[in-house]
Amino acid sequence: MSTLNRSFASDNFAGAHPSVIDALAEANVGHARAYGDDDISLEVYAAFEELFGAGTKSFFVFGGTGGNVAALSSLAGPGDCVVCTEWSHIHVDETAAPERAGLKLLVRPSLDGKLTPHDLQVAAHWLGSQHHAQPRIVSITQPTEVGTLYSIDEVKSLCATAHDLGMVVHMDGARIANATAALGGPEKLRSFTVDAGVDVLTFGGTKNGIVFGEVIVYLPQSGNPVVERAVRYAPWARKATTQLPSKGRFVAAQFRALLRDDLWVTLGAQANGAARDLYEAVRGIKALRLATPPAVNSLYPVVADAIAERLRETSFFWPWDPEEQRVRWMTSWDTTSADVAAFAAAVKTCME
């Protein structure tokens, strides 16, 4: 077996869309004010305001972990904690970066990677007592780290419960493009974010075909003082998290390219489609225990360690639940039908 040109490890193994590289070259003319005060940045802030509504405030950051930590830092007071699932990136994959910023995570068990209103009610038992960190922030991931999607109603109902309990809601949208594509396209974006009650969003770029960069987006809220204070503090929360990009125009230029003609959703849809194709190609293999088609761009099959080792000769991929020998196969914006066919063939060979 030979390794593939395009792997099924992660969407950050993929490179950048050609138009993104072009955008970098195009932005590379003369001097521009640093730190996001340049003309391209201003244009992109306006574009985000158009996407999410007047009053939206956007802040570029380098990466996803940094974007989450800066956003959560801006929201938290001393002794506050963040309700999230056991699968959440902030818990599993950020190497204690939130805690280094003083943020306690209140981790809830979850089979499908989603928080429920009940989770918030359980967390709320801690509210008001000085002996417990105060769960005043909720962080959800859309799509989740196990490849599921919150429906519009689920986000709505979670946000409503959160707000009733005096909590604010952060959405980790590292792969928000895949969610948007899956939920009906760009015109549905507001329905599961700002209109559903989300307060602040990390809008991902890196995993959707750019070189680097994410955006913290504070959604326009009706006077929630915690969010308003967070917006005021956002520039300092970002820099204190070491996440202020120096030459901001290059982050902006990439996002301008992504937003043009909804390229970001097109790329998300391509990745989703490739995952569905892979699912169709291997769903017959019972041992994989793939119950349902993927909601977005990843599958979580059961693959015994020895088999996984052989299959990694074709394409590296990450373990996901070592206890259950679940692994993750992930497609990217650039995954082709040929890639899917070749990988599916390798899976079949290895599983026989």
Site for a second copy in 246-275 (CB under 8 A): 246-247, 249-250
Binding mask 98-117 for a second copy (x = CB under 8 A): xxxxxxxx-x-x--------
Alpha-carbon distance of 343 to 330, in angstroms, equals 11
Q: Using CB under 8 A, which of the segments 41-49, 91-99, 258-266, 342-350 binds a second copy?
A: 91-99
Whose Cβ is closer to a second copy: residue 144's or residue 183's? 144
Question: Helices (H), strands (E): how many in the chain?
Answer: 13, 10
Query: Do the Cβ atoms of 114 and 154 come closer than 8 Å?
Result: yes
What are the backbone dihedrals phi and psi of residue 33, each rounded to the nearest 5 degrees, phi first? -60, 140
Specify the DSSP class assigned to residue 100. H
Beta bridge partners of 57: 218
Annotate 18-29 with b (16+ C-beta within 10 A) or e (fewer).
ebbeebbeebee
Closer to a second copy at the Cβ: 225 or 284? Answer: 225
Task: Verify binding: residue 326, a second copy, rule CB under 8 A.
Answer: no
Tokens representing residue 331 in the block: 């497609």
Helices (H), 95-198: 97-100, 117-123, 152-164, 176-182
Closer of 6 and 114 to a second copy (Cβ): 6
- Under the binding rule (CB under 8 A), the answer on residue 95 touching a second copy is yes
For a second copy, the binding residue among 41, 134, 139, 161 (CB under 8 A) is 134
Return phi, psi of residue 297, to 5°: -115, 30
Q: How many residues bind a second copy (CB under 8 A)?
A: 87
Q: Which of residues 28-67 bind a second copy (CB under 8 A)?
A: 28-35, 62-66
In the bound state with a second copy, the residue whose beta carbon lies nearer, of 11 and 277, is: 11
Shortest distance (Å) from residue 133 CB to a second copy: 4
Kindly tell me which residue out of 43, 49, 53, 97 binds a second copy, with binding defined by CB under 8 A: 97
Measured from the CB atom, the residue of 6 and 256 that comes closer to a second copy is 6
Nearest to 296 by CA among 113, 159, 95, 60: 113
Which position among 40, 81, 231, 296 is part of the footprint of a second copy (CB under 8 A)?
Answer: 81
Minimum distance between the CB of residue 56 and a second copy, rounded to whole angstroms? 19
Residues 219-248 that bind a second copy (CB under 8 A): 229, 233, 235-247
CB of 109: closest distance to a second copy in angstroms? 7
Binders in 158-187 for a second copy, by CB under 8 A: none
Q: How far is the CB of 119 from a second copy (least distance, A)?
A: 11
Q: Are 299 and 272 in contact (CB under 8 A)?
A: no
The answer to whether the beta carbons of residues 270 and 208 sit under 8 Å apart is: no
Rule CB under 8 A: is residue 132 a binding residue for a second copy? yes
d(CA 35, CA 234): 14
Strands 168-173 and 326-330: what pairing?
A: unpaired
Give the nearer residue to a second copy in terms of CB position, either 73 or 142.
73
Angle between helices 248-259 and 39-52 (to 10 degrees): 40
**Binding residue for a second copy (CB under 8 A) from 73, 141, 180, 208?**
73
- Considering the rule CB under 8 A, would residue 146 count as an interface residue with a second copy? no
In angstroms, the Cα distances linking 260 to 64, 246, 253, 255, 319 are 22, 24, 11, 8, 35
Report, in Å, the least distance between residue 195 CB and a second copy. Answer: 28
| CB nearer a second copy, residue 70 or residue 295 | 70
Q: Does 294 bind a second copy (CB under 8 A)?
A: no
CB nearer a second copy, residue 123 or residue 196: 123
Burial class (CB in 10 A: 0-12, 13-18, 19+), 302: middle
Nearer to a second copy, 80 or 154 (CB): 80
Helix axes 64-75, 225-240, angle to 10 degrees: 130
